[in-house]
Amino acid sequence: MKSSSVGIDEIIEIFKTEFKPIIDKFEIIKVLNGKSFTRKNVLDAKHDFIYYPGVYVFYGDNKTWKVGRHLTNSRMRTMQHIDANTRNKDYNIKELEKVSDAEIILFNVKKIEDNHWVAAVEIFLERKLNPKIPSERTG
């Protein structure tokens, strides 16, 4: 079932259910953790695994905005989307600054050598969450 109208906890649960056999390989990070969506707050976020390979999900206004991956540093890639103001004809990342429930969720591997799992997670979440700004590639 495709859905772009799920909550943060539901997104995390969808991931946990599908990847239960390998869940211990991942760390789930809420980057903003209640802070407003600003470049500074994303840049200032601290976590042991924030710089690791993983999948990012931009979320806000009860919608999944963007799903993507980076095989070396998922938080860095989110910063690139913010700086570039990734967009399509109806949505752009900077609009999340106006959204009170905006969040970036990272599904990062705990060991860099497990980065091969990142592609599978991205493809699954992209298909399952139907983001408003879809990837131009799947895979």
pLDDT digits 0-9 by tens, 75-130: 999 999 999 999 999 999 999 999 999 999 999 999 999 999 999 999 999 999 99
CB 107 within 8 A of CB 58: no
Tens digits of per-residue pLDDT, 125-137? 999 999 999 987 6
- Sheet with strand 63-70: strands edge to edge: 26-30, 103-109, 54-60, 63-70
Using the predicted structure, report yes or no on whether residue 4 has a pLDDT greater than 90.
no
Q: Is the pTM of this model over 0.85?
A: yes
| Domain 8-129 homologous superfamily, CATH | GIY-YIG endonuclease (3.40.1440.10)
Q: Average model confidence (pLDDT) for the chain?
A: 94
Q: How far apart are CA 138 and CA 39, in angstroms?
A: 27
